[in-house]
Amino acid sequence: MAVKMDPIHQFELKPLVSFGHIGNQEIAFTQSALYMFSAVGIIALITIVATANRSVVPGRMQSMAEIFYDFIGSTLRQSAGHGSERFMPLIFSLFMFVLVLNMLGMIPYAFAVTSHIIVTFALALLVIGTVIVYGFMAHGTGFLKVFVPSGVPGWLMPMIVAIEIVSFISRPISLAVRLFANVLAGHIALKIFAGFVPALLAAGAWGIISPLPLALSIAVTALEFLVAGLQAYVFATLASIYLSDALHPGH
């Protein structure tokens, strides 16, 4: 009972195969890794297995892959503009990976990989790293113009540049924390509200109000599905907007 009620328990990593330690780091194939590879498998099923026939008139799975492709393609084009096609694999992979992991996390008793900040932070750093590396590769030092907005009076410039640098540095943090916190908070809320139901039922006469948290947890479940999809979209959109800086640093 006590363990089941613990809303934090669900985020624990459970090593399935342990490979020992490096320093204090435990290297193990955990359920988190299993979910990651399951997500890759599911995405491959939708985008590769289902499209193997290359039918002109698509089936259900193939049209799902096409809808995702169109959706991410148009989001990327609108956010990052001309030349953004080269980032399509990255943004598409990010969106699908986060979306499928979020959705898998919504299955009861399943594990939400994106509730671990190290995962979301690594993905955010991948985005910002791509922005920096591609920005310098494509524009050289011209990429630094990203910190110098045009049309700002000279005396304001030092302050504006400082603000731009801070905002640039905070991007990966906000990107990572937004996804992590949304998934984590949602799962904790779900667990707590759902936990009230058996607790009230076990408390004798209080059991009469147990439908209340039940209804609430159903509502929160619906909300969490929305959040799961929305956060994947937000992650992909923000990544696209940041990549547009690498493509067009002058604004």
Partner 1 sequence: MAQPASPTAPNQATVVVPDSEHGGGFPPFQSHTFLSQLIWLALAFGLLYYLMAKIALPRIQGILHDRATRLSGDLDEAHRMKAEAEAAGAAYERALSEAQSKARAISADTRNSVAQETDARRKSLEAELNERLVASEATIKSRTAEAMGSVRGIAAETASAIVERLTGHSPDQAALNRALDKTSTAH
Applying CB under 8 A, the residues found at the interface with partner 1 are: 1-3, 6, 8, 11-13, 22, 24-30, 32-33, 36-37, 39-40, 43-44, 47-48, 51, 54-56, 58, 62, 65-66, 69-70, 88-90, 92-93, 96-97, 115-119, 122-123, 126, 180, 184
**DSSP state, 143?**
G
Nearer to partner 1, 19 or 215 (CB): 19
Report in angstroms how near the CB of residue 230 gets to partner 1 at its nearest. 21
Nearer to partner 1, 146 or 184 (CB): 184
Report in angstroms how near the CB of residue 62 gets to partner 1 at its nearest. 7
Q: How far is CA 192 from CA 14, 84, 126, 186, 199, in A?
A: 22, 43, 33, 10, 10
Nearer to partner 1, 105 or 249 (CB): 105
> Is residue 60 within 8 Å of residue 222, measured between CB atoms?
no
Report in angstroms how near the CB of residue 174 gets to partner 1 at its nearest. 17
Report in angstroms how near the CB of residue 28 gets to partner 1 at its nearest. 6
Nearer to partner 1, 87 or 143 (CB): 87
What is the Cα 241 distance to its own chain's centre?
A: 15
DSSP string, 68-133: HHHHHHHHHHHHH-TTGGGGHHHHHHHHHHHHHHHHHHTSTT---GGGSHHHHHHHHHHHHHHHHH
Instruction: State the Cα angle at 180 between 4 and 40, rounded to 5°.
Output: 90
